[in-house]
Amino acid sequence: MELSEIRRRLTLYPPQTEEVAREMDELREAIIQLGEMLEEALPVGRERMLALTNLEQVCFWSIGAIARNQ
């Protein structure tokens, strides 16, 4: 991987418009709601923790997709 690609991947991309900021906030809120549902619905254990960890990844990659492609 080239250094420019590493820099691009690791650079913060703040929302450039109010619309993009709103999209990010709405998506993040939906993911949080799902996390709360999972916390309530799933029994305590490794599987629940993995589900919540992967939900963090969903949030990270989803917001990243919006931020990098605005």
| Number of domains into which the chain is organized | 1
Q: Which residues constitute the domain of residue 50?
A: 19-68
pTM (2 d.p.): 0.84
CA torsion sign for 28, 58, 14, 12 is positive
Whether residue 1 lies inside any domain: the answer is: no
- The answer to whether residue 11 scores a pLDDT higher than 90 is no
Whether residue 3 lies inside any domain: the answer is: no
Whether residue 29 lies inside any domain: the answer is: yes
Q: Report the C-alpha gap between 44 and 50 in whole angstroms.
A: 11
Whether residue 23 lies inside any domain: the answer is: yes
> Where in the chain does DSSP place strands (E)?
none
Whether residue 7 lies inside any domain: the answer is: no
Q: What mean pLDDT is predicted for residues 24-51?
A: 97
Whether residue 38 lies inside any domain: the answer is: yes
The CB density around residue 12, as the number of other CB atoms within 10 Å, is 5
Q: Report the C-alpha gap between 45 and 53 in whole angstroms.
A: 12
Whether residue 45 lies inside any domain: the answer is: yes
Q: Report the C-alpha gap between 29 and 59 in whole angstroms.
A: 10
